[in-house]
Amino acid sequence: MPLDLDRYYTPESVARRILECAALPVMPSVCADSTCGNGRLLKAANEVFGGVDCVGIDRDRRAITALRRNNPDWLLTVGDLLNVKRYGRLFAEFIPPTVDLLVLNPPFSQGSRKAVDITYRGDSFKGSVAMAYLLRSIELFDPTHGAVAIVPESLLYSETDEFSRKLLSERFSIQGIANLESCTFRGARAHAIAVQILPSGNHVDTKQFTSSQKPLKIRLTRGGLPVHIMKKSPRGVPFVHSTEIRKVVNRIHESDFLHTEDCLKGRVVGWAILIPRVGVAEKGLVQAVNIRLPVQLSDCVIALECKNKLVAQELEARIHESWDDFRDLYKGTGARYVTMSRLSAWLNLKNVNIEIS
C-alpha cells in the first residue's frame, strides 16, 4: 500500500498572505519548515522577509530532490519528525544553531485513528497528527520568534488537542491570523486556519467576565446513545437525534418519533433547549421547550436543562442576542461540531452557571 503523504500543498498566494499578516518583532534571517513539501512557504518567506536562509525537512524524497535541484543553497533533508527513533540523530546534526521562524503546513489526515502518540518536553500524551508535527517542530527547532502555521481549525478547539494546547500555552500564545476556505487546498475538505504562535513565557488568558446579566443555573447534558446501536421498541421512550430537534420544537406528537428501549446517559424531561453537537445549530430551533415526557437523546444532541420556563426563556434570549458568537462555537476540520467544554466556557461568559452530567 502506498504511503499517504497528505500532499495538500499551500497555494502561493495563501503562503504570502499569511506571512504578511504575521506580527514579528524583527525580520527573520533563518526560516525552517519541517513539512516543506514543494517549498512554497519557504519561498514566500524569501519574498515577504527579503531573503532568508531556508531549512526544510519532508518525508517525501521526491519533493526534497526537486527542491535541492531548484534551490541548491537551501539546507534540506528527507525525514519524518514523528519517526524520532529513525531520524533523531540525523536531526540533531542537521539543525542550525539558530532558527528565527518556523513556517509549516503539517499533515492533517488522521486516517482511522482518533489520536496519535505525542511526546513533548518530557510529557507523553495523545493528540491530532497536526498537533504532533507542530509540537515536535517547535521542540526541535526552538524558533526565536515562534511559528506561523496552517492547521486544521479543530486543533484550536477540539477535546483531542485540549491537553496539547494547555502545554503549548505555558510557553506560547496562539492567535488566528487568517481563516482559510475549504477550497483552499484542492481535493481537500478541511476547514483550516492560519495561526501565529508567539513566545510569551507564562501566557495568561486576559479574557475577563464582564456580563451584568443576572446569573442563571442550568444543567448541561450530552446524549449517550449512538444511532447505529439504538434498539427500537414501540413501548420505549422517544429517541431524539439531531434531526428530531425540529419535531420537539414543533411539538410533534410522540407517536411520530422512533422509540427505544435503551436507557443510557442523556434522558431528559422538563424545560430545556436542545442543540446539535454535530452540524451547526439553526437559530429557529434553539428554543425553550417543555419536554413533558422523558426522551432519550442521541450522542449528537446536547440538552441545556433548566429548572423552569423563566430560566429557559432567559437562556434562549441570551443565546439569540449573541447568535453569531454562539454559532461560531461550531468548529471542525471536516464536519462542524461543538464540545461540552467550549459550550460551557461560552455560557459562563453569559453568566450561566453550569452543572455537567
**pLDDT tens track, the chain, 357 positions:** 233 445 567 888 889 888 888 888 888 999 999 999 999 999 999 988 888 999 999 989 999 999 999 999 999 998 888 876 655 556 667 778 899 999 999 988 766 667 888 989 888 999 999 999 999 999 989 999 999 999 988 888 888 899 999 999 999 999 888 777 544 445 445 678 899 999 975 333 433 344 457 889 999 999 999 988 888 988 899 999 999 999 999 988 878 889 998 888 899 999 999 999 998 899 999 999 999 999 999 999 999 999 999 999 999 999 999 999 999 888 876 678 888 878 888 898 888 988 876
Using DSSP's 3-state secondary structure scheme, residue 357 falls into coil
Cβ atoms 169, 151 nearer than 8 A: no
Beta strands 101-104 and 147-152, pairing class: parallel
Neighbours of 12 (CB within 10 A): 14
d(Cα 227, Cα 240) in Å, to the nearest integer?
10
Cell of 262: 435503551
Cβ 153 vs Cβ 333: under 8 Å: yes
The helix/strand/coil state of 323 is helix
Backbone angles phi, psi at 30, to 5 degrees: -130, 125
CATH superfamily for domain 12-199: Vaccinia Virus protein VP39 (3.40.50.150)
Beta bridge pairs of residue 289: 272
Domain 216-356: assigned CATH number:
3.90.220.20
272 φ/ψ sector (left φ>0, alpha ψ -120 to 50, else beta): beta
Q: Where are the domains of the chain?
A: 12-199, 216-356
Which amino acid type is present at position 95?
I
Provide the Cα torsion 169, 173, 176, 177; round to 10°.
Answer: -150
Helix (H) or strand (E) holding 297: strand 289-297
